[in-house]
Amino acid sequence: MDRREYYMQRCLDLAVLGMGTVSPNPMVGAVVVYQDTIIGEGYTSPYGGPHAEVNAVQSVVTKYGTEKANQLLADSTIYVSLEPCAHFGKTPPCADMLIAYGLPKVVIGCSDPFSKVNGLGIAKLRSAGIEVVTGVLEDKCQYINRRFFTQINKSRPYVVLKWAETDDGYFAPADKAQHWISNAASKQLVHKWRSEEDAILVGKNTALIDNPSLTNRCWTGKSPKRILIDKNLDVPADYYLLDQSIETIVFNAVKSEWNQNLKYIEMENFDLYLPQNILYQLYLMDVQSIIIEGGAKTLQMFIDAGLWDEARVFESKESWGTGVISPKIGGVLDRKLQVSDDQLLIYYPIH
């Protein structure tokens, strides 16, 4: 790994510290390098706060004082995993800030696909006489922001499918009773995942059988928005999903009504292109990513529609011999991981 890649990898390590807090912004990391030494670094603050470049530069000012920092920055290179923004949003343009501080060189991992930035940040820096290098660890930089890129390029959230199955491929008991398949370590990992995504979705049958709360109570950080598909509003009002503790959206065919944290959205022609319509509605609500947890019918509906980006499947050592068959994914198995005595299989779509 050459030095440019080393510093860009540090940007990526910083960027993921914003997981679960920056959406709908991308996760970005930045480091300031002076004479081959990192003198400042930062990552994007929770949504509405300063971006990575601002935090990195400010860390230099805080450490060295304004006068010394200005001297150092005028002879430093800043590495940033995503193209600096060129427009006014919640914060001023980062490109303008870098120009104001007189940094002579900016190294960028990948360009920003957002129409108000795409290439404009790079152009603004170059027009100010700053040397700009692009494409360092580009694939890695794009991968960590696959949620953001999907939202921008496909006008829908990034979709993560998740389920557990027995060793012989069963998803649930035949009698539809509640039965936990995966182990405690897998459960905690799932709760960590929930803290990293914007929303989590289940269908009516899962809600009725399991009465889940869909929180990340076994981890830290925020719980995701809860999404329920309930065509005829069959889930009782006293179930956890409807307790108003977390923002919950119920897609249905009966009514549209907002009551504090509980939002009912009526879908016209409910059974026609349902997964597409749900994802587009969530896109309009700035939901950047979603975990779909079930049940089997709901999961298969999104699979059959080709609307998924990643599947995480826990495979236990249990064998049942009978039951509800697990969804059929038809993707590419990317890797297998051991989680205690469960195996975690990660799939991606075939492109």
* Residues assigned a catalytic role: 53
User: Is 305 assigned to a binding site?
Assistant: no
- Which residues fall within 8 angstroms of residue 27, CB to CB, at 6 or more apart? 15, 16, 18, 19, 43, 44, 81, 144, 145, 148
67 is in an annotated binding site: no
- Cβ atoms of 305 and 276 within 8 Å: the answer is yes
164 labeled part of a ligand binding site: yes
> What burial letters (b/e) apply to 236-251, b meaning 16+ CB within 10 Å?
eeeebbbeeebbbbbb
Cα–Cα separations (whole angstroms), residue 156 to 18, 201, 267, 290: 21, 14, 17, 10
Reading phi first (left if > 0) and then psi (alpha if -120 to 50, else beta), residue 210 is in: alpha
Angle of helix 94-101 relative to helix 52-64, nearest 10 degrees, comes to 30
Residue the block writes with tokens 């979709």: 159
Spatial separation of the C-alpha atoms in residues 172 and 325, rounded to whole Å:
7
CA atoms within 13 A on the CB side of 258: 2
Residue 180 labelled as part of a binding site = yes
Residues in the chain, total: 351
Please indicate if the annotation marks 194 as binding a ligand: yes
Crossing angle of helices 274-284/296-304, nearest 10°? 90
The answer to whether the annotation marks 4 as part of a ligand binding site is no
Q: Is 206 annotated as a binding residue?
A: yes
SS3 label, residue 331: coil
Q: What does DSSP assign to residue 241? A: G
Instruction: Count the neighbouring beta carbons within 10 Å of the beta carbon of residue 158.
Output: 23
| Per-residue exposure over 197-220, b if at least 16 CB sit within 10 Å of its own CB, e if not | bbbbbbbbbbbebbebebbbeebe
Assess contact for 253 and 266: CB atoms under 8 A: yes
* DSSP letter, residue 326: P
Feature table: binding site for Zn(2+): 51, 85, 94
Binding-site residues for substrate, please?
A: 194, 206, 214, 217, 293
Binding-site residue ranges for NADP(+): 164, 180, 210
